[in-house]
Structure 1
């Protein structure tokens, strides 16, 4: 009988009183390419890290590599986030930093990052170029990492994994932030890698899969169920939530929320937004779409007050021209905001309570005291989102999906008239996505304005009625209709 590549028996891990892995057993044989699904927080990431030796566990865990396979005899775990460093090796970035051109000088470029990595994996520049072409990043090879979008960061992270092409590759939610075409390209690259002898464990709740996947697992309560067929998707209906009165009918600050005229933004001569015109009226529900790197996040940063080039453009927010005397806090008080970058750079010592409460002050962490009334609202949000047990837990200790739910609570706790949600369902499982978008629909009353960034039509709230599509910084489509991305 063929010797297994991975053999796990009675694997156990407990964090304080919570059992993460409960006497889990699993065997992977040569040629098996696995998809692992399951709700957020069921132990998928912990299991992946344990296989790659990144966390200690008790029980039997053996990984055996094949000396006849011409691939590096190692396993590689690729996390959901890309933890890049500056030229001095630092990782202490802050949210607005990516929009300051002077900060880019201390950040490595795409080409520098990948070229430095190739010395470890013995591949040439032509292979870097091929991958950049596959991920539509060739035109960005001289861009600083700090100036890339979350989707572009994911492409760099995946490129490094595919350059190494280890015998065992574990990808944790690799489709996070990727547009539709990039997902297709990634699947083709994974199929090719598995043909050459690599074994794949893919952790994902997305429907996009490479054709090489031939085994299926589902994590529940610290145990793994396995099958040769995909597990049926659970379509549990999401009931209406009991929205508290303080989250209804926000006061509208102006009939026109956004009036952007002939907007141009560039970095070092590279245009990011070009002659963009856009008007958003109060109460409209917009989808902002476009491929990775098309300028979506840059446009949003102009609206949230985080981008310094807003002052060089004709932008009216809430009826007032940027630079006419309003402060960044005057802008932010009317906006509830979520983005992948906000989650990356959030104050790491924040508890769940503190993270939600920081929404009253528009800070990435709680740095002042809250009133009794504000504390009551925070605890109401904890109850609404079923987070009571995590009130004192550090935000960073939650599964990424639950972190995103906490940040949604943070975005809405002050009942803002405008919600700007930049890829808010990244990291959420299917049930959490349905719950999230159901809540967005409930909060999208006639007086509240919504700007929502998303790539997949089936992961959007139903309330959207308008669409702006960007391509290479240019508005190529503006419609009063629901959206489908090809």
Structure 2
């Protein structure tokens, strides 16, 4: 009998004196491809990083037995849930609005340069890329700078590298986050192709749309791994606990006098001669609930940046917000105080050195971090909302030491703390498990019952709040359709 590919024996990992994994055992045999699931914060990412050698382990707790008679690199390659990049001078201290700054684009590498460097480092042939780029619809951004990419396009860059490399063991942490439906399907085909060539897979997450080559399932619970069946990993919706919404959110947001909160007339956005948004006409009436969809790179993030006051080209367009034409005297802070926003980009650029409590409280002031005392009333509201999201035990913990899922929950709390007139939720449930996703969307439904206007971006039809009424679909920067949600889902 051949030796196992991966053998983990009695692996224990502590982080800041907290036990994350305890005497964990796992054997991965040849030709096995695994889904590693579990609730958010259960230790999935910690285990994945340990296998990839990114977390130190001791006493031969993890043994890897690579195959010598193959052309595949004797390597474990880990694709993180979070993509980080640096500018041409090695800096990584970016801010949220910087992606719309022409000077910033001049100091960050293009996708082509990034892939060239990766190919040279790993002795890869450029002509093997065409198939991957085509499958993921990525050739169109090959000359875009990294800072201009959307969250889905950043995820695709990670995946392009991994599939091009074809290591003996590929670990993918939340690989479907930010991907549209077609890209998820094509990714599964690509993973099946490299699996057939010998690459073994570990997918980390609670996914349901998996490549057919996944043939084993495991769950981490209380620091221990156990093999499970495919069916037992599904969450029973009846088991999801319902919590009462904090009382201060059980009130209508400040009523708006304008019937049309958003009005865009022939809006165009252009970068370096390329139109990213083309003749956009869209009206949002106070209290409406919209689903914004489109393939990766279709212009969704740019459209939202106009509404949130972050995009400088808003002033060059016929664009009205809260009844006022942009550029008529309102400040960016006048706009932001009426909007609650979460997006993958906001998460990337948020001050990770703030505590959970400071992060949530900063939502009152639309700041990245807390720089003033919010007062006793707001203090009590922060405490109540932190409890609602199950974060009380972490309220004094720095964001940068939390699992990404709990960072996300803190930012969701920050988004709604001021009970805004408009909620703009751009893939708000990225990285959350199914219980957390359903819990949050239930909260959205309740908040929007009090007249809050909603714009919700989501690629997974099964992970949407039920209050949605209308859908706007973008394709290549243009409005492809506007329709009733009941007709489209």
Per the shorter chain, which TM-score range? over 0.9
For residue 231 of structure 1, give the secondary structure of its aligned residue in structure 2.
helix
Query: What SS does the corresponding residue of 2:117 show, helix, strand or coil?
Result: helix
Pairwise CA distance, 1:255: 2.1
- How far, CA to CA, are the matches of 1:357 and 1:133 in structure 2? 44
Q: Does 1:34 align with 2:34?
A: yes
CA 1:369 to 1:42, structure 2 compared with 1: closer, same or farther past 3 Å? Answer: same
Other-structure match for 1:168: 169
Cα distance in 1 between the residues matched to 2:436 and 2:299: 27
In 1, distance between residues paired with 2:89 and 2:131? 29
1:53-110 CA distances to partner (integer Å, 9 max, x unpaired)? 1112345210110001210111111100111111112111111111122311111111
Provide TM-score, normalisation by structure 1.
0.97
In the alignment, the residues of structure 2 paired with residue 58 and residue 367 of structure 1 have an alpha-carbon distance, to the nearest angstrom, of 42
In the TM superposition, what is the alpha-carbon distance from 1:280 to its structure 2 partner?
A: 0.3
Contact kept? 1:121, 1:163, Cα under 8 Å:
no
Residues 89-104 of structure 1 aligned to structure 2 (within 5 Å): 89-104=90-105
**Long gaps (5+) in structure 1:** none
TM-aligned CA deviation for residue 342 of structure 1 = 0.8
Show the 5 A alignment for 1:317-336. Answer: 317-336=321-340
Distance 1:441 1:483, change over 3 A: farther
CA deviation after TM superposition for structure 1 residue 174, in Å: 0.3
Paired with 2:103 and 2:274, the residues of 1 have a C-alpha distance of 15
Task: Answer whether contact 1:114 1:128 (CA < 8 A) is retained.
Answer: no
1:125 — aligned with what?
A: 126
Partner of 1:436: 440
Distance 1:156 1:94 in 2: 21
Who is 2:424 aligned against?
420
Query: What's the CA shift for 1:256?
Result: 1.6
Match of 1:77 in 2: 78
1:154 aligns with 2:155: yes
Aligned to 2:255: 252
Cα distance change of structure 1 residues 381 and 229 upon mapping to structure 2, 3 Å threshold:
closer
What is the rounded CA distance, in whole Å, between the counterparts of 2:398 and 2:234 in structure 1? Answer: 31
Q: Which residue of 1 aligns with 2:243?
A: 241
Give per-residue Cα distances to partners, 1:91-150, cap 9 Å, x unaligned. Answer: 111111111223111111111111111112222222223222111011111111100100
Give the whole-Å Cα distance in 1 for the aligned partners of 2:26 and 2:274: 50
**Deviation of the 1:179 alpha carbon:** 0.4
Match of 2:36, SS state, is strand
1:149-228 matches, within 5 Å, as 149-227=150-228
Match of 1:357 among 353, 361, 377: 361
Q: Distance in 2 between matches of 1:129 and 1:197?
A: 21
Q: 1: CA distance between counterparts of 2:231 and 2:88?
A: 44
* CA displacement, residues 336-384 of structure 1 (integer Å, 9 cap, x when unaligned): 0000011111112110000001101111211222212111111111111
Deviations 1:228-250 (A, max 9, x none): 64534121434443223321201
CA-CA distance at 1:318 after TM superposition: 0.6
* Aligned mates of 2:479, 2:71 — CA distance in 1: 47
Name the Cα RMSD after superposition.
1.3
Task: Give the direction of change, closer, same or farther, for the CA distance of 1:90–1:16 in structure 2 (3 Å limit).
Answer: closer
1:450 to 450, 454, 465: 454
**Secondary structure, in 3 states, of the residue corresponding to 1:293?**
coil
* Contact 2:253 2:450 survives alignment (8 Å): no
Query: Residue 473 of structure 2 corresponds to which residue in structure 1?
Result: 469
Aligned partner of residue 4 in structure 1, secondary structure: coil
Counterpart in the other structure of 2:135: 134
Post-superposition shift, 1:164?
1.3
Contact 2:220–2:226 (CA<8 Å) still a contact in 1? Answer: yes
Question: How many pairs were matched up?
Answer: 485
On the 8 A contact 1:109/1:144 being kept in 2, the answer is yes
Gaps of 5+ in 2: none
Q: TM-score, normalised by structure 2?
A: 0.97
8 Å Cα contact 2:22-2:224 kept in structure 1: yes
Q: What CA distance in whole angstroms lies between the structure 2 residues aligned with 1:397 and 1:442?
A: 31
Q: Kindly report which structure 2 residues correspond to 1:305-324, keeping only aligned pairs within 5 A, or say none.
A: 305-324=309-328
Q: Retained in 2: the 8 A contact 1:251–1:447?
A: no
